Amino acid sequence: MRKLIFCFSFVCMGLLSSCVDKNELVDEESVPGWLGSSIYGELKNPDASKGLTGSFNTYLRLVDDLGYAETLSRTGSKTVFPANDEAFARFFANETWPGVKRYEDLSDAQKKMLLYSSMLDNALLIGMLSNTSSSDGVVQGRALKHLTSASVIDTVTYYPAMSAMSAYGENNTNWSRFNAGVSVVTDATRPMLVHFTREYMLNNGITTAGEDNDFSIITGGNYEEGDAYIFGNRIPKSAQDITCQNGYIHQVDNVVVPPGNMAQVLKKTSDLSIFSHILDRFAVPVYNSKVTNDYHDWYRAQSEVTDMTGVNNPDSIFEVRYLSRVSQDNLPFDIDANKVQVIAENLLNLDPGWNEFYIAPTQSGQPETYLTDLQVMFVPDNAALINYFIKEEGKSIIETFGRKPNTAENLESNLDDIPTNILAKFVSNMLKSSFAASVPSKFDNIMDDAKDLMGVTKDAIKKKEDGSGYDIKIANNGVIYTTKTVFGPKAYVAVSAPALFSKDMHVINWMIQNVTYNNVYGLNLDFYAYLLTMASNYALFLPRDKAFDAYYLDPASLIKKANGDYVNENALVYHYYYNPSSKSGLGISTFKYDIAKQAIKNPNDSTIIDVDGANNAKNWPICKAHLQDLMQYCTVVLKEGETLGKNNYYKTKHGGAVLVDMNNKTVASGAQIDGLQPVSKIEDEYVQRNGRSYAIDHLIQGPVQSVYGVLKNFESSTDENTKETFFELCEGFDDDVMDWAGISKDKNPTTQIYEVDQYKIFYNPIQRNNKKGCMDNNVKFFSNYNYTVFAPNKAAMDKAYANGLPSWKKDVMPLFHHFTQDDHDCGNDCPGKALTEDEAKIEVRAKIEAISAFARYHFMNVSVFADNEVESGNFVTFYVNNDNISQELNISGGNGKIVITDATGMSKEVSVSDSRLVNMMARDYEFVMENAQKALYSNSSSFAVVHEISEPLGYNKNGNYGWENFKVSNKK
């Protein structure tokens, strides 16, 4: 009794998605008739009744010559996609491969490519090609490709002396060491076979009917119901699923010619040679020990049976990899030929040479993804690229970096002079991660690097020269649309572009390009995408590298003692400079700084800040806080059509402010206005598509004065017989006095809040948390926003006291002392003589409420500057009335004035010409503290502008500030 070996999966009739290593011995007499012969036998004697048409002698000749007849005759489980002799005749007649006009012209490598690229190592019905498996079982309609039987060692290519450099760019330093020749494989993952099935196209919304449907545009043919397609080659419904003892045959109407991956397809397409040349800048040779050893094993085995004279047996085989953020195993490939890590901005978004391309699933339990999608690349032809770089948007790039005249003949050489990070954005904008999301019917939804619509249309796709359809190429890992136009990245036209292209803006460009994702040096801002928004109108200040050489004044080094002196007599400045050889991309050092002289104290006395090593966790938060602040100070969002110069003061991205003088071409913020750092000069102006950029020579430095410091220095009373200034009134909230009046100074065990803190104007957070501190004192109710303080001067305070405002010195403290310092026998002038202590407490509580209401009404949410134009409207203050409603101020003005209308309906005015204190920038920092004397960095801050006013603001209609307004509500 004879026995046969056949695939176990046939017994299950398709219940399994594939058959791998499940062979069993079965009695020949037990084999069902529908199994037929082996794959080899069926092709040797094709049965037209089963669907096979024509003869397959050429295909079997490949099988015989490669010693694969035994495999296809007796063992294993395979799926083959053969073409008949008529199709092979067309293949040779068309000279699909240059120089191959007949079978005898095929090399062994070409024979392997034709056979193994049309074969899968498992048995699959056509209806199962689109199936994938997941934790929930088999999922239909997801698979687009499968691993072929091709071996990586079959693709080894030898480049003789200098050819590798020629193939991958003569100026590509990654390849310069191979001047004696090199053997490479284009990718060490296995080539894929791409198939289009009804189930896949239905599941992914790919149209197959109607004029210019997706399928016909991409493949150049019409879809026939029930047919399937391999790289666009048709498998008629009648020629599918020919069942054999060891697998399936699906006859294809044309020879399946392995296209290679997208990088390979580009390299062999003459009309796309310029784009391919650009792509080569990212190609890196990587020694692959597995491929090398496998090849040596094959070479030894072949040597035992045949003469291998003339067949190269290299010592080392290198794999061609492409620097990218998503490459093999869905991980970044970011190591150059010298094993140096490449920073993220020099990487492509995807690897065009990765055969088994996939994007990792975002949810667990999803089907295996290497089967489910392809990349897409919109590749401009040579004519489009020549036009773009010589006449259009790319012209300025060539003129900036190219060393030769900007001509078509010099273009490739000039492209080699462009920095890699600039080209990475160019290529990445045209690389998309999903074929299913990038078919023609979905062109309207394709996004560019700015997350704006890319603007791809069917008309942008080039037609084939013979007019037979669109010039679209299906590679084994992606689809290439040849375009007549260049879809340049928004990064080339946005306000950030001058930094990208500049030769002396490396640091600010590093900051803009900084990507937070999976980056220990992330700034957590992602300004790269933010500044690409074309719907916005930006004014972007771009410090040149020399601006960073002039140092950043560290605000954390300027914390003060209670008397206003600095805790440390030596302020610190940080020097940031570009260092691409470091892991972070930056070099950082500090110097002691003389504020009075605006200069470092000793150029030879510096401290190197380590962020690339073990101290990253300690030092990077400090540096990140500085760079975040600088980046946000450099960014102003303007109204549509607005440019700098109409006003003098502009709010920055984080709520700070800058003073801009377009006549004298300067920009400054608080520390510069106060003389602690030089003012920034505007050296160049660039008109971009979403605003204007300005090159500056010094860093913009925010204020290092707090609101507390500004008010303290503005107007203080030294006469004990006079009532308080506004600053003194705000500072007078004493814990013991408030506690005596019924406002507890103890922590509430339930809420963990100190009631006295809810009344204070100023406080130092270190009083409650030894890990937090500030410059001197902060405004208690500020919360990381921007604010306005209207500071009544002495005359205004006198009017307020005349209208009933209680005084700490005259009205509150005497009552408190009378009952707490045994001052009962003071005579008829005693303030509390006619009161019981409980009555005195109620009165003091009411006076505290009155003082709080008055003070808080002068602190307004939103910074408003006296300027040519004033931000107008109703803005809330920090006074909340008895009905728990925040009270507002109405703001209007212009021409250097602010008009304030308060609750009385009366208007008060701030004027740049009349006020001593106007538009004074202040900033309340909250620092992370190392100890009580040393701040590390600011983790939050609030911005404010302070204006002097000569009339107090009235928080009620009658303009009375008396404590009687609060007496009833104060009873307990």
Ramachandran class of 524: left when φ > 0, alpha when ψ lies in -120 to 50, beta otherwise: left
Regarding whether 540 and 681 lie in a shared domain, the answer is yes
Both tokens assigned to 208: 């197959």
Query: For position 866, what pLDDT does the model report?
Result: 97
589-613 mean pLDDT: 90
Regarding whether 866 and 888 lie in a shared domain, the answer is yes
Answer yes or no: is pLDDT of 253 > 60: yes
- 145-159, 646-660, 855-869: lowest mean pLDDT where? 145-159
Query: For position 176, what pLDDT does the model report?
Result: 81
142-160 mean pLDDT: 90
Farthest-apart Cα atoms in the chain, separation? 132
pLDDT tens profile 819-849: 888 655 555 566 666 789 999 999 999 999 9
Residue 34 pLDDT grade (very low, low, confident, very high; cuts 50, 70, 90): low
Whether 543 is covered by a domain: the verdict is: yes
Regarding whether 948 and 908 lie in a shared domain, the answer is yes
Whether 228 is covered by a domain: the verdict is: no
Query: For position 827, what pLDDT does the model report?
Result: 52
Answer yes or no: is pLDDT of 23 > 60: no
Query: For position 163, what pLDDT does the model report?
Result: 65
Find where tokens 């992370």 sit.
928
Three-state SS at 371: helix
362-386 mean pLDDT: 84
Query: For position 364, what pLDDT does the model report?
Result: 58
Query: Residue 163 carries which side chain, given as an amino acid letter?
Result: S
Residues 434 and 442: their CA atoms lie apart, in Å, by 11
Whether 73 is covered by a domain: the verdict is: no
Regarding whether 793 and 657 lie in a shared domain, the answer is no
543-549 mean pLDDT: 98
Residue 345 pLDDT grade (very low, low, confident, very high; cuts 50, 70, 90): confident
Residue 721 pLDDT grade (very low, low, confident, very high; cuts 50, 70, 90): low
Residues 118 and 323: their CA atoms lie apart, in Å, by 30
Query: For position 711, what pLDDT does the model report?
Result: 96
Whether 865 is covered by a domain: the verdict is: yes
pLDDT tens profile 486-526: 999 999 999 999 999 999 999 999 999 987 766 889 898 88
Regarding whether 530 and 440 lie in a shared domain, the answer is no
- For the chain, the 3-state helix, strand and coil shares in percent, each to the nearest 5, are 30, 25, 45
Regarding whether 823 and 797 lie in a shared domain, the answer is yes
Residue 520: CB atoms within 10 Å: 11
Range of the domain at 418: 357-491
Give the domain-ending residue among 667, 696, 725. 696
Give the domain-ending residue among 491, 523, 542. 491
Query: For position 922, what pLDDT does the model report?
Result: 98
Exposure letters 253-263 (e unless 16+ CB within 10 A, then b):
bbbbbbbbbbb
Phi, psi of 763 (to 5 degrees): -160, 165
Residues 179 and 337: their CA atoms lie apart, in Å, by 15
Strand 691-696 and strand 538-543: the pairing is parallel
Whether 790 is covered by a domain: the verdict is: yes
The C-alpha angle with vertex 701 and arms to 696 and 703, in degrees rounded to 5, equals 150
Whether 837 is covered by a domain: the verdict is: yes
Residue 566: CB atoms within 10 Å: 14
318-343 mean pLDDT: 92
Query: For position 720, what pLDDT does the model report?
Result: 59
- The length of the chain is 972
Whether 186 is covered by a domain: the verdict is: no
pLDDT tens profile 134-147: 777 888 899 999 99
Regarding whether 646 and 520 lie in a shared domain, the answer is yes
Both tokens assigned to 258: 């392995």
Three-state SS at 592: strand
Query: For position 859, what pLDDT does the model report?
Result: 98
421-439 mean pLDDT: 96
238-254 mean pLDDT: 96
Whole-Å CA distances, 700 to 279, 589, 626, 633:
38, 19, 11, 7
| 556 closest CA partner among 874, 772, 775 | 775
- Note whether 671 and 702 are within 8 A (CB): yes
Regarding whether 689 and 809 lie in a shared domain, the answer is no
Answer yes or no: is pLDDT of 340 > 90: no
Strand partners, 362: none
Regarding whether 809 and 775 lie in a shared domain, the answer is yes
Whole-Å CA distances, 195 to 114, 264, 924:
16, 19, 63
Answer yes or no: is pLDDT of 613 > 90: no
* CATH code, 646: 2.30.180.10
Query: For position 341, what pLDDT does the model report?
Result: 87
Whether 612 is covered by a domain: the verdict is: no
- 285-289, 648-652, 963-967: lowest mean pLDDT where? 963-967
Phi, psi of 213 (to 5 degrees): -75, 160
Regarding whether 513 and 455 lie in a shared domain, the answer is no
Query: For position 822, what pLDDT does the model report?
Result: 65
CA atoms within 13 A on the CB side of 570: 11
Whole-Å CA distances, 614 to 332, 339, 379, 589, 625:
23, 21, 44, 16, 19
357-384 mean pLDDT: 83
Residue 595 pLDDT grade (very low, low, confident, very high; cuts 50, 70, 90): confident
Query: For position 24, what pLDDT does the model report?
Result: 40
Regarding whether 746 and 726 lie in a shared domain, the answer is yes
Answer yes or no: is pLDDT of 1 > 50: no
506-513 vs 616-633: helix crossing angle, rounded to 10:
100
Using alpha carbons only, how large is the chain's radius of gyration in Å? 38
Answer yes or no: is pLDDT of 447 > 90: yes
pLDDT tens profile 665-699: 999 999 999 999 999 999 999 999 999 999 999 99
pLDDT tens profile 384-396: 999 999 999 999 9
Residue 465 pLDDT grade (very low, low, confident, very high; cuts 50, 70, 90): confident
Exposure letters 741-761 (e unless 16+ CB within 10 A, then b):
bbbeeeeeeeeeebbbbebbb
Regarding whether 513 and 448 lie in a shared domain, the answer is no
179-204 mean pLDDT: 92
- 12-16, 324-328, 337-341, 523-527: lowest mean pLDDT where? 12-16
95-119 mean pLDDT: 94
Both tokens assigned to 768: 């409650």
pLDDT tens profile 65-80: 999 999 999 867 999 9
Residue percentage of the chain with pLDDT more than 90? 76
Answer yes or no: is pLDDT of 306 > 90: no
Work out how many domains the chain is built from and give that number. 3
Give the domain-ending residue among 465, 491, 517. 491
Query: For position 14, what pLDDT does the model report?
Result: 32
753-769 mean pLDDT: 94
